[in-house]
Structure 1
Amino acid sequence: MSSVVAKTEPSPAPTFSHRLEYAATRTAVAVLRLLGWRAASAVGGVLGRLAYRPFGIRAGVVERQIAAAFPEFTADKVREYAARSYESLGRTSIETAILPGTSREEILARVERVEGWEHIDAALAKGKGLIAVTGHLGNWELGGAYVAARGVGIDAVVRGAANKLFEAYVTRTRSEAGVHVVHDKDAVRRAPRALRENRMVALVADHDALGLASTFVPFFGRPAKTPRGPAVFALRFDAPTVFIAIVRQPSGRYAFLVEPVTVTPTGDRDADVDAIVLRYTQMLEAKVREYPEQYFWQHRRWRRQPPDTPPHLREP
């Protein structure tokens, strides 16, 4: 084993605003835990709707993107689904915040329907680990906790946050739920190890970031910069790949949905990666069409596009 230790840049000291944000978050979480899961989720829904109206936080972004994705929607319907997306995000945020301390039995009970779990079992039976791709739909954090509660080792690749106090808190939240956190800058080194240990490596693959290896594929007909990481890992390590969505049901509980992602190497690595990225993006789009109110429209999904994108397909 090499004795060389990579040098890392020291994290900047938390600012006063970071400390204030962290303290406010911890106080709010402590209060919400007293309410119980269902009541706290309802409070989150109310707060989410308030963020839309009257506060209008990123309301224009959300409305434009929903209208672009669903051109058949009337203006009133666009506003209806925008409001519902804020409510869903509020619920997801609060449900995630109070996840620490939740028992395995409680986590399992929050999922009322499972479809396709056999694809996870079949993949892990091969002993090569498993790549799981998901998107910002429903409650993706609960999805990771549910996998861990089912006894599957899971490593979630995540991006760092500017507020390191808040990031440390979220990391503890995930760890307490049984999810091992891997920062994206470490994924190239640590994801292969997880696959060799026959664990699931989970990646959220619908947000682009500067410096992140990506490709442009259609999302609701418009070119969207999409991470290549899941596809690269699947091909490089011959790892089975699935798409997972965990979506809220009318009861307030969730459906956990799994589909296999076809990986067919042709010898043209770049073309194969692009084909896999397109497949899991199409799977996400299909689920968003089914549950448009549960997607994270607050993110500018088409912010980065190829320079030759036609005007009618540019960011709305």
Structure 2
Amino acid sequence: MAKPAKNLKPVLFRHRLEYAALLAVAPLIRALPRQAALRFGRRLGSLSRWFLAARRKLAEDNVHQAFPDWSPQQITALVKRNFEQLGMSAVDSLRLDLFAVDTPEEYFEIRGVEHLREAQDLGRGVILLTGHLGFWEAGNYVFPALGVPLDTIAKPLKNRLTDAYFQRIRTHFGADIISSRKGARQILKSLQSGRAIGLLLDQHISPPGSVPVDFFGRKAYVTTAITNMAMKYRIPIVPTFCLRRPDNRYDVWIDPPLLLEGDGEAALAENTQYLTNIIEQAIRRDPGQWFWLHKRWRKINITK
């Protein structure tokens, strides 16, 4: 008698409703010309400020904490633009598999490809460091277009129907998705096979397995798993980010590869802070395009 398949829990009714709504709206967005779809996304993002009042207040508090000298008017304007940008990025995420595979220059201006090639030439795989900035889903298109085999680390959505829908879009150009729940073994296996690993290092990870770092003047927990792996196996880390331009094309920049030095807990914490600083510097180029709506800063308990 065959064993029952794992992870096949009944789909919640509300998840079915959410998925039905996605299937109703997505084809309309995908049928529109891209610029018209982005205008729709911008308006939808702006309207969502009022439907997501708790998230709006969280974003306003986060921006105030990060930029204490800003006026209330400046904070309100940035948060409004933030919602608009997120709405536009959501639209491009729904349409990513419609991007023309042979003409990345239609959507992206990419600088620093030579840095990526330098890291690849080391033969140890590549860790692509980024954050929830601009159009962070772009890597699933950009790097396969550059001929770079890519695995992206992502946390599965709670709604497995919606998760499967976006998985199909994310993997359309050849990128694979590694669940963040599978741990370091799968990541290391991919790196050892010469693949690049895309990682967003600006999410809260509770200890153990994380350290507190300074991020926009406040303490926040960051995972040490990737830092530790890069130090132990001398894997190059290549920072790369993607920001939207006024014409709705994207600027993608790839920085020179980093080889982290040192060993031990102190070096681990120092290097994790260093990587966090890189992300903060990228966000400061255009703060309106970072994901201020999430609970990045949690309660920190530090014992001496």
- Alignment TM class, shorter chain as reference: over 0.9
Mark the CA change 1:220 to 1:55 in structure 2 (over 3 Å): closer, same or farther. Answer: closer
Mark the CA change 1:28 to 1:106 in structure 2 (over 3 Å): closer, same or farther. Answer: farther
Amino acid at match of 2:73: D
Contact 1:261-1:279 within 8 A present in 2 as well: no
Mark the CA change 1:229 to 1:37 in structure 2 (over 3 Å): closer, same or farther. Answer: farther
Mark the CA change 1:224 to 1:211 in structure 2 (over 3 Å): closer, same or farther. Answer: closer
CA distance in 1, matches of 2:114, 2:257: 14
**TM-score in terms of structure 1 length:** 0.89
Mark the CA change 1:216 to 1:258 in structure 2 (over 3 Å): closer, same or farther. Answer: same
In the TM superposition, what is the alpha-carbon distance from 1:237 to its structure 2 partner? Answer: 2.1
Contact 1:51-1:57 within 8 A present in 2 as well: no
Task: Report Cα offsets for 1:86-141 as digits up to 9, x if no partner.
Answer: 00111111110121243313544210x22222111000011111011110000000
Task: Report Cα offsets for 1:117-174 as digits up to 9, x if no partner.
Answer: 2111000011111011110000000133211111100000111221111111111111
Amino acid at match of 2:45: G
CA distance in 2, matches of 1:209, 1:176: 29
Secondary structure (helix, strand or coil) at the match of 2:202 reads: coil
**TM-score in terms of structure 2 length:** 0.92
Q: Residue 177 of structure 1: which of 173, 183, 202 is its match?
A: 173
Matched, 1:123 2:119: yes
Residue matched to 1:274: 269
CA distance in 2, matches of 1:180, 1:304: 34
Segment of structure 1 superposing worse, 38-47 or 205-214: 205-214
Q: Residue 206 of structure 1: which of 188, 202, 205 is its match?
A: 202
Contact 1:264-1:272 within 8 A present in 2 as well: no
1:44-59 equivalences under 5 Å are 44-53=41-50, 56-59=53-56
In the TM superposition, what is the alpha-carbon distance from 1:199 to its structure 2 partner? Answer: 1.1
Matched, 1:141 2:142: no
Residue matched to 1:288: 283
Percent identity over the alignment is 28
Q: Residue 265 of structure 1: which of 254, 261, 267 is its match?
A: 261
Mark the CA change 1:48 to 1:128 in structure 2 (over 3 Å): closer, same or farther. Answer: same
Residue ranges of structure 1 left out of the alignment (5+ in a row): 1-6, 309-316
Q: Residue 249 of structure 1: which of 240, 245, 251 is its match?
A: 245
Q: Residue 17 of structure 2: which of 16, 20, 25 is its match?
A: 20
Contact 1:155-1:199 within 8 A present in 2 as well: yes
Secondary structure (helix, strand or coil) at the match of 1:92 reads: helix
Could you say what the CA RMSD is over the residues aligned between the two structures, in angstroms?
2.1
- How many equivalent residue pairs? 301
Secondary structure (helix, strand or coil) at the match of 2:166 reads: helix
Residue matched to 1:79: 76
Mark the CA change 1:11 to 1:280 in structure 2 (over 3 Å): closer, same or farther. Answer: farther
In the TM superposition, what is the alpha-carbon distance from 1:233 to its structure 2 partner? Answer: 2.1
CA distance in 2, matches of 1:16, 1:293: 35
